[in-house]
Amino acid sequence: MPEINIIDVKNIIKLVKQKYGFDPGIIDPASLTLRLEKLMKNNNISDTDLLCQHLDQDPDFYKQFLYTLFSNESELFRDPEMWIYLRDQVIPRLIAEKKNIRILVCFCTSGSDLYSIRMLVNELGLQKDTQLHYSWPSELNHIIIWKGKLINSQLETSLENMKKVIPGADEKKYLVKKKKDYFFNSLFLKEITDEEYKFNTHPGYRDYDLVIFRNQLLNFNHNYQNLMLHNLVKSLEKNGIMVLVYKENIVDYLVSHSTLVPENKKENIYRKVFNG
Amino acid sequence: MDRQSEKIIVIGGSAGSFRLVSDILNSLPADFPSTLIICLHRLRSARNGFLEALSIKTEFEVQEPFDKEQIRPSVAYLAPANYHLLATYGRRFSLSVDDPCNHSRPSIDMTMQTIAWIYRKEVTGILLSGANMDGAKGLKRIKEKGGYTITQDPGTAEIKTMPQAAINLFTPDLITGKQGIIDYILGLKS
C-alpha cells in the first residue's frame, strides 16, 4: 500500500487550502492520512507528487478527494437502542410540546441515518408533523444519498435493526430491490430538503428541535469538533435534542458550555436547556 | 513518564484468539507499566459482553476507548464493535466508521498501521489466530517503523490463516506459541 508521511500530508493540506479554499487540516490526522492512502490506492497513484498534480489540475478529482475524506459506511438504525429511545421518549415528547417539529440530519455522508429517521417518522404516522432537512459535505455524498443504494455487506444488520426499531413495518415499502442491489425507496426522500455543509462559515441552521449528528465528529480534530458542536447547539431550539453516538466524547465541550445537559448518557443524547 | 510506560503492545486476532488474549490479560499484574491495544474481530451489532468477558479474571484495567481519548500506560484498550480504532497525533485514539478493511471493522491492519506511525520503535505487534489475512500488512508496517513483531506459531493457532499470512509477507522477529508470547510480554516489565 502507498505510504504518506507527515510532510506529504502538510503539502497536500496547503495545496487544497490554496486552490479550493477548504482546509483538510481540520480532519483528524490519522483518518486523513489513511484516506489519502486509500485515494491513491483506488486511483493507482504511486506517489504524492502525482496526487498533488491531480488535485491541482483536475476539479473532478478534487470532488473524489472530498468524497474519500467523508465516505463513511453504516447500516440502517445503527445502535437500535438509541433509535428505540428516540421512538419512545424523544419524538413523542417533542410532538406533544410543539405539534410540528424540525429535524436536521447534519453532515450526512452515507444516508443511513437520514433513511432511518425518515422510516421512523413514517411508521409513527408523523410525516405531516415533521420537517426533515439534511446537510451533505460533498457533491458525491449528495448523489449517493439520492441514489439510495444500500451497502450489501450491511444489509443483514440493517434488516435486523429495522425489526427491532420499527417492528411490523413492511420492509418492501422502504427498500426496493433492483437486480442484486437494494435501494432506499426514493418516494420517501421527496419532501426532504437539503443543503451543502459549509465548512468555513457558520451553517446558519436554526430552530431545530432534533439534530442527528452521529459518527461525524470522529472525522475531525478536537478544535473543529468544538466549533461544529458550538454551531449545532446554536441551531437548536430550547429543549431541543442533539443525538451523538455512544463513543463520541464531548466532555471538554460540556465543561465549558452549560447549554447542554445529558438526556440519555448511555446513548450520548443531549438536551439544550436555555438559549445561549 | 518512564521508558517502560511508553511501550505499546498491540495485539490483533480473530477466530480462535479470544482465549489466548484472555490468558495474556490474566497473566498481567495490575501494575504492568505498558499499554495494550487489542484489536479483535467481533460481532458488529454486539456492543456489550466482549469487554466484560475479557475483564472477568484480570487484575489489569481493560476498557474500550472513546474517540480522541488519551492513550495511557497500564491500561488495555479494546477496539469497540463496528469502529476502526486508530492512534492519532498527541498520543490519542481516533475512532472511524470508514468502510471495513479486509471485511473487518475494526480492522487490525488499520490499528497496527496507525500505532506504528505514532509509536514507531516503541511498538510490539502481536498477531494471533484468525481466519482471514487482516493484520499481516499492519504487522509488517510495525516492523518497517522499527517495532518488534511476533506471530503466533501457526501450528499452535486454532486457525492459522492470519499468522501464516504475516509469515508469508515478511519475517517476523519471533514466531512462538502461547507461553512464548506471554513470557515476552511479561519480560517487557523487567
- Quick one: average pLDDT of A231-247? 93
Helices A29-42 and B108-119 pack at an angle, to 10 degrees, of: 120
**Which of B45, B89, B137 has the highest number of chain A CBs within 10 A, making it the mutation to test binding with A?**
B45
Which pLDDT band holds residue A256 (cuts at 50, 70, 90)? Answer: confident
- Quick one: pLDDT at residue B1? 43
C-alpha cell at A128: 405531516
C-alpha cell at A60: 473532478
pLDDT of A51-85, one tens digit each? 999 999 999 999 999 999 998 889 999 999 999 99
- Closest CA in chain A for residue B110: A34
Those residues whose C-beta lies under 8 Å from the C-beta of residue A93, and which sit 6 or more positions away, are: none
Q: Does B95 touch chain A (CB under 8 A)?
A: yes
Q: Are A4 and B113 in contact (CB under 8 A)?
A: no
Those residues whose C-beta lies under 8 Å from the C-beta of residue B86, and which sit 6 or more positions away, are: A28, A30, A31, A34, B93, B94, B95, B96, B110, B111, B114
- Quick one: pLDDT at residue B190? 66
> Which of A38, A157, A246 is the closest to B44 by Cβ?
A157
Which pLDDT band holds residue A154 (cuts at 50, 70, 90)? Answer: confident
Interchain proximity B97–A79, CB inside 8 Å:
no
Q: Does B151 touch chain A (CB under 8 A)?
A: no
Model pTM?
0.94
Q: Does B114 touch chain A (CB under 8 A)?
A: yes
Those residues whose C-beta lies under 8 Å from the C-beta of residue A238, and which sit 6 or more positions away, are: A272, A273, A274, A275
Q: Does B117 touch chain A (CB under 8 A)?
A: yes
- Quick one: average pLDDT of A153-176? 94
- Quick one: average pLDDT of A175-197? 94
C-alpha cell at A18: 490554496
Q: Residue A274: is its pLDDT beyond 80?
A: no
Q: Report which of B145, B100, B109, B149 is spatially closest to residue B130, judged by C-alpha positions.
A: B109
Task: Name the stretches of chain B with pLDDT < 70.
Answer: 1-6, 190
- Quick one: pLDDT at residue A1? 56
